[in-house]
Structure 1
Amino acid sequence: MTGRMALAALLACLAAPAAAQQPSYDCTRAGTPTEHAVCGDSALARLDVQMADLYRATARRTEGNARRGLRAEQLLWQQWRNTCGGDTACLARRYRERIADFDPSAAVQPTTPAPGVRRLRNGRWEVEMPDGSIRWTPLDGGSGGIIYPNGSQLTLQYVQVDVVPVEIPPPPTGGAPWVEAIETLLVRVVRDYLPPQDHPAYDALHAGYPPPERVVRHIDAIRILGR
């Protein structure tokens, strides 16, 4: 009788499903499509745990302004991640990019070079150059830098120079269609620079701003991406 009970217990253990991989946060408190998607996908949950461990390890090695900057950067990345919604492929790409920020050795290397690729990553614009280097600029258009193929980096400082002011004519009466037409043209240019998978995320970054301010932001994006 004891042997049969032991065998039954063993079979019950083997039949029980393995516990699903949990992310770094409590899934019972998940409130966004992104959080629910990560909770429902073991591969994404593992990436979330790996990213969170690397973030905490990096935070422990920093202090003061550097730690506050790291926290602000992480919050910005979370907003960028959330633009994926429940798209698991998009989320996997965002997580792998963030993991590579903390641990460059974990970066997935492309099988073929992709010069000219422009992307939004880690709160900045990046452009892959034909020589393998990466030119980057913050979203606000401030100073940027260059990451060379050997891993060395160069920070660029842009100098403001005085120029002759150009007076921009006011929009005609009933200016909303005029602004919309300008924005349509500008967005078309931006989309030519960015890969298709980043188009929805770019739109999400500008959602909620009034049309005139969106136009200015599109112009800034084109100026940065076109460098």
Structure 2
Amino acid sequence: MRSITRLALAALCLAGTGLATAASFDCAKAGNATEKAICADPGLSRQDEALAALYLRQLETPDAGQWAAFLRRDQRDWIAVRNRECKGDTQCLKQDYERRIAFLGQPLLPWTGRYVQGQCPQDGRFLDVTPGDGGALDVEIYVCPDPRGNMLLQARDVLDAGRRMKVPDGGRCTRTFQFSADRITVADAPDCTSSLAGTYVRDPRRSPFKRE
């Protein structure tokens, strides 16, 4: 079996001890059905190495604040689900790797996260950002503490050169989202009848993909 690449080894080291089964491991130490299936299939092994390269590239995104901390946590969660759901099923693993590689390859991925205003989950609001289609970002704002109730806004748009997104919100109301490392500042136009204004701060411990 092909030995671990230097790039994959670097990704494994950066991921920390909590990612012992992260992308591109030593097949001589394969310890579960998933790892053994990856080592036994050349196509899966290549996917594993491609994912390692993308993962490392995303970890090294400059000026991204707590993005790396969030990504490490998200990668641990993905590995756990991969091992639990696919086990040694080669076809399941290949499909899962295809989805994960597509996810990690998105250029706007470092903006992904849950950004909090107030004392969530006790009170306040939170803003979820996920990559959308066509180079856009999906943004959703909710009232705490219910992570999927009381939605205040849902929109999709692209960032301009100044990392701004202007979102129409009914009638003549437009809200401006200013993105910076770990922070999104929302400004309301004068015609907005309700206020969502303020600064939302990324919480690397929470995910926009989970009900938490």
Bigger fraction of residues in helix: 1
Bigger fraction of residues in strand: 2
TM-score strictly above 0.5:
no
Question: Which interval holds the TM-score relative to the shorter structure?
Answer: 0.3 to 0.5
> Based on CA coordinates, which of the two structures has the bigger radius of gyration?
1
